[in-house]
Amino acid sequence: MKLWSALLLLAASMFLVPPVLADDAVVARVNGVEIKQSDLDFAASEVGPRLGTVRPDDRKRILMQFVIENELMAGAGEKEKLDEADTFAKREAYHRRRALRDAYFDKNVTGGVSEAEAKKVFEENIAKVKPEQEIKARHILVDTEDQAKAIKAELDGGADFAKLASEKSKDKNAEGGDLGFFTRGQMLKPFEDAAFALDVGQISDPVKTSFGWHIIQVEEKRDQELPTFEDVKDPIMSQLVVRKAQTVVNDLRSNADIEIVDPEIKRSMEDAAMRGEAPPLPDEEFNEDH
């Protein structure tokens, strides 16, 4: 599962921009100004990457709030005639270039990645993943080894594990000692080693950890289910967008005539190149600025 965890973490900060719907419905009005679905879509391309793993319903609400606040401030700016300021034309020209950049990104980067590519990545990687074993266990935690031995003797004599756990265990967060399912790496090593060495139904001898002395009973063992393609499709698509962006930007840079006129910036970039520091990856640029 670690392979898939790494994949999900890599892609977590990306957000695939939804297409602008042909039926550009009105979704809200602010002081009489219509807010359309396309406004939400464009907002998603701007701030969506910062929303990470926010639930879809919450994402829509956040995007709507962003667009409403944008319209409120834009309207206030018009009232103050800020669009007549000397710098406004330059600001407008900059944002026009940004809009062209975003349109190019959507067409040639996001639009250049297919679900078929994502499925191929999934099939190549799922074949390498070995299902990880997880166990379901209960435990009874006490302060001393003598207490643990006495409890073990009661259990060997037929006492009910869950009942004894409720009565005698220090761990009151685990009802009846129930720890649920866990995999290796989630528990302290002495506890983990003892638990995974047990057969189903078997009860351990006293096990010492930094919390005290444990008696452990394993109730079930199973292999974790591997993710389906639908489980990881969006993160894989996002990773492919990152790779596509890197290729597209590198191609554009290699064919461009770039001259850094400012001597201080030029020196800084040359120093960074000598240290082997690469320019920001396209996904970093997208996340910070898009």
Residue range 25-44: mean pLDDT, rounded: 91
Higher pLDDT, 97 or 285: 97
Name the pTM for this structure.
0.58
pLDDT value for 49: 66
CA dihedral 108, 282, 21, 32 (to 10 degrees): -130
**Per-residue DSSP letter, 174:** S
pLDDT bucket at 285, cuts 50 / 70 / 90:
very low
Contact 75, 33 (CB under 8 A): yes
Report the alpha-carbon distance of residue 279 to residue 255 in Å, rounded.
16
By C-alpha distance, which of 232, 234, 236, 238 is closest to 110?
Answer: 238
Q: Which CATH architecture has domain 133-223?
A: Roll (3.10)
Return the residue matching tokens 């709507």.
64
pLDDT at 11 over 50: no
**Per-residue DSSP letter, 198:** S
Q: What is the pLDDT of residues 146-183, one digit of tens each?
A: 999 999 999 999 999 999 999 999 999 999 999 999 99
Return the residue matching tokens 């995999």.
183
pLDDT at 7 over 80: no
Residue range 202-225: mean pLDDT, rounded: 95
